[in-house]
Each structure stands twice: as structure tokens, then as C-alpha cells.
Structure 1
Amino acid sequence: MINDDEWLVVIDRQEVFAHNEWSRWACSDGAYYQTDKNYTRLAKAYGNRVAYTRYIAPQPPKGAWVEYMKDWSEFLVAPDDPMYDLTPETAELAKGHPIVSLSTYGKWGPELQTAVEGSQRIALCGVATDACVLQTALAAADQGIAVRLAADACAGSTLENHKLAIDTMALFTPLITITDTDSLLRERQAD
């Protein structure tokens, strides 16, 4: 069931991950947009208990990020560059909710903990399953946070990588529970 203290964390639903025609970081085969319906249903069901994250490039890159960003130099732009904007449908639902912007794949940390008001239960959706979603889920679970992943509201860099990430997170049951939107909403209605 969706508990009264559980928050939905929406990971990186941004322009840069949505548009295959110009972004090498976009989810393959339009998979980003295939999650719109389920993301919207979840965001509405969780009401005021929704926090959003944004990936932004490190300014300047440090350590291993220096070499990494050499391969992805077109993404080394200012945090307010339009490529890092939330997509319009996401931005609309995000109004009035906390938005955490970080230059790390994993978003779990003090900023996000504050955004979810210290909740010990979160549900995750967003992109990319095999990068930011995976690392956020693992970091939260490692700190004892109960994580539920709405797999059908997530998209990966490729369909194969999405499945691999889901399978990896499933290894951490019961710290991370793999579920889907219908199950979460059915449980909510059963309350």
C-alpha cells in the first residue's frame, strides 16, 4: 500500500533524456515518452508528497568526471541550459514541489532527504533506469530507506539496459521492491 509517509521521487525527467533527435543521452526508441502515462498517474496519486531531481553537469568536472565529460562534451553546459530543463509535462506537475539538482548520477543524499522530509519510504520512477535511478535506489536502500521502484514508469538508455538495471535492483529485495504503477495504485485504492 502507499503509506501516508511514502514519497514519490521522480528522477531526471529532463529534455536531455527525452529527445533522440539531438541527444546522445536520450532513452532509446522513444522509451522516455512511453513512461508518461504511468508517471502522470503516480505523480497525481502521491499528491503533495512528490520530489523531483535534475541531473546537471559538474562545474567544473573533477576527478574521474574530467575524463568522462571528454566523451560527452556537448553536455558540459551551465545548469540553466534548456537541455537540463524538465520536459513540459513534467514541469507542469512539478510546480510547487521540491526539485533537487545535482551533478551526480545518484541523487540520494542530504538534499533529497530534506526534500522528502526525512521519510523512510520512497517510490522511484524516471530515467535512466540503468544510471540515475539505479544509483539513487542503491544509495537510499544502503541507508535503510524502503525503496519501491515503479518499473513501468522508468526508462533506460536501452531496453536491454533497463531490464539489466531492474534485475540488478531486484537482487536487493526486500530493501528494494520492484513493482508497477497499477499495483501501487490498486493498493492505494484498497486502503
Structure 2
Amino acid sequence: MINDDEWLVVIDRQEVFAHNEWSRWACSDGTYYQTNKNYIRLAKAYGDRVAYTRYIAPQPPKGVWVEYMNEWPEFQVPSDDPMYDLTPETAELAKGHPIVSLSTFGKWGPELQAAIKGSQKIALCGVATDACVLQTALAAADQGIAVRLAADACAGSTPENHKLAIDTMALFTPLITITDTGLLLRDLQTD
């Protein structure tokens, strides 16, 4: 059930993960856009209780991030580069909501906790299921946060990797509950 203290956390719905024609980091085969309808329904339903995240490149990269970013030099740009902008449909709904920008895959930490006002319950959607969504869900669950994942509002780097990530998170039930947009919205209406 969606309670007044559950927040929707929208992970990294950014240009760099949406556009296959120029980004090697984009979700494959346009699957990013297949999540738009469900994301929009959730963002509107949660109203004021929505926080957004953005991935930005580490400036400068440290440790193993140096090696990682050497594999992806075109993404080593300042945080205000347009490739790291929220996509238009996301930016429109994000107006007035907290946006947490971090140079880590996992977004769970003090910044996001403050953005959701210390809530102990979150629903997640966004991209990529097999990177930032997965790492955020696992870190939040480790902190004792109840996590519900709207699987149909997430996209992976590939459909296969999306499924693998969903299956991995399902191993952590009841810390992480795999659900879908329809069930989350039904819970909101019955609350």
C-alpha cells in the first residue's frame, strides 16, 4: 500500500541513457521510451513525494573510476553538459521536485535521504535497471528502507540485463518487492 510516507525515486531519466543514435550508454532498442507512460503515471500519482536523480561523470575520476572512464571518454564531460540533462518529459514533471546529482551508480546516501525527508519507504523506477537502479535498491534495502520496484517503469542496458537485474533484486524479497505500475497505482487508490 502507498502510504503518505512512501516516496517515488526516479533514477537517471537522462538524455545520455535515452538516445541510441549518439550514446553508447543508451538503453538498447529504444526501451527507454517504452517506460515513459508508466513513469508519467507514477510521477503524477505520487504528487509532491517524488525525487529525481542524475548520474554525472566524476570530476576528476579517482581510483578505478579512472580506468572505467578511460573506456568511455565521450562521457567525461562537466555535469552541466546537455547529455546529462533530464529528458524533456522527465524535466517537465521534475519541476519543483528535489534532484540529486551524483557521480556514482548507486544513488542511495545522505543526499537522497534528505531529498525524501527521511522516508523509510520508496518506490523506484528509471534506468538502467542493471546499474543505477540495482545499486540504489540494494543500498537502500541494506539501510532498512522498504523498496518497491516498478519493473515496467524501468529499462536496462539490454532487455536481457533488465531481466537479470530484476531477478537479482527479487532474491532480496521482502527487502525489495518487485511490482508494476498498475499495482502501485491500485495501492494508491485504496489508501
Question: TM-score normalized by structure 1?
Answer: 1.00
Question: What is residue 89 of structure 2 aligned with on the other side?
Answer: 89
Q: Report how far residue 190 of structure 1 moved.
A: 1.9
List runs of 5+ in structure 1 lacking aligned partners: none
Cross-structure match for 1:121: 121
Does the residue aligned with 1:172 lie in a helix, a strand or coil?
coil
Aligned to 1:136: 136
Q: Which runs of 5+ in 2 are unaligned?
A: none
Q: How many Å apart are 1:43 and its aligned residue?
A: 0.2
Instruction: Map Cα deviations across residues 94-131 of structure 1 (whole Å, 9 max, x no partner).
Output: 00000000000000000000000000000000000000
- Per-residue deviation, residues 65-112 of structure 1 (Å, max 9, x unmatched): 000000000000000000000000000000000000000000000000
C-alpha displacement of 1:45: 0.4
Query: 1:26 maps to what in 2?
Result: 26
Structure 1 vs Structure 2 CA RMSD: 0.4
Q: What does the per-residue CA deviation read over 1:8-62, in whole Å, with 9 as the maximum and x for residues that have no partner?
A: 0000000000000000000001000000000000000000000000000000000
Give 2:83's aligned amino acid: M
Report the 3-state secondary structure (helix = DSSP H, G, I; strand = E; otherwise coil) of the residue aligned with 1:125: strand
Measured in 1, the distance between the counterparts of 2:167 and 2:27 equals 18
Compute the displacement of 1:182 (Å).
0.2
Q: Give the C-alpha shift of residue 142 in structure 1.
A: 0.2
The amino acid across from 1:54 in the alignment is R
Find the aligned partners of 2:50 and 2:185 in 1 and give their Cα distance: 15
Alpha-carbon distance in 2 for matches of 1:122, 1:67: 33
Deviations along 1:128-161, one digit per CA (max 9) or x if unpaired, are 0000000000000000000000000000000000
In the aligned structure 2, how far is the partner of 1:11 from the partner of 1:39? 11
* Cα separation, 2, equivalents of 1:34 and 1:59: 32
Provide the secondary structure at the position in 2 that maps to 1:153: strand
* 1:2 to partner: Cα distance: 0.7
Name the amino acid aligned to 1:126: G
Match of 1:188 in 2: 188
Matches within 5 A, 1:39-50: 39-50=39-50
Equivalent residue runs for 1:1-191 within 5 Å: 1-191=1-191
**Over 6 Å off, 4+ runs:** none
How many Å separate the matches in 2 of 1:108 and 1:176?
14
> Percent identity among equivalent residues?
88
Provide the secondary structure at the position in 1 that maps to 2:7: strand
State the AA in 2 paired with 1:86.
L
- What amino acid is the match of 1:170? A
SS in 2 for 1:135: helix
Aligned pairs, how many? 191
Q: Distance in 2 between matches of 1:55 and 1:132?
A: 8
SS in 1 for 2:174: coil
Counterpart Cα distance in 2 of 1:56 and 1:186: 34
Q: C-alpha distance in 2, partners of 1:185/1:10?
A: 16
**How many Å separate the matches in 1 of 2:29 and 2:164?**
17
How many angstroms does 1:188 deviate by?
A: 1.3
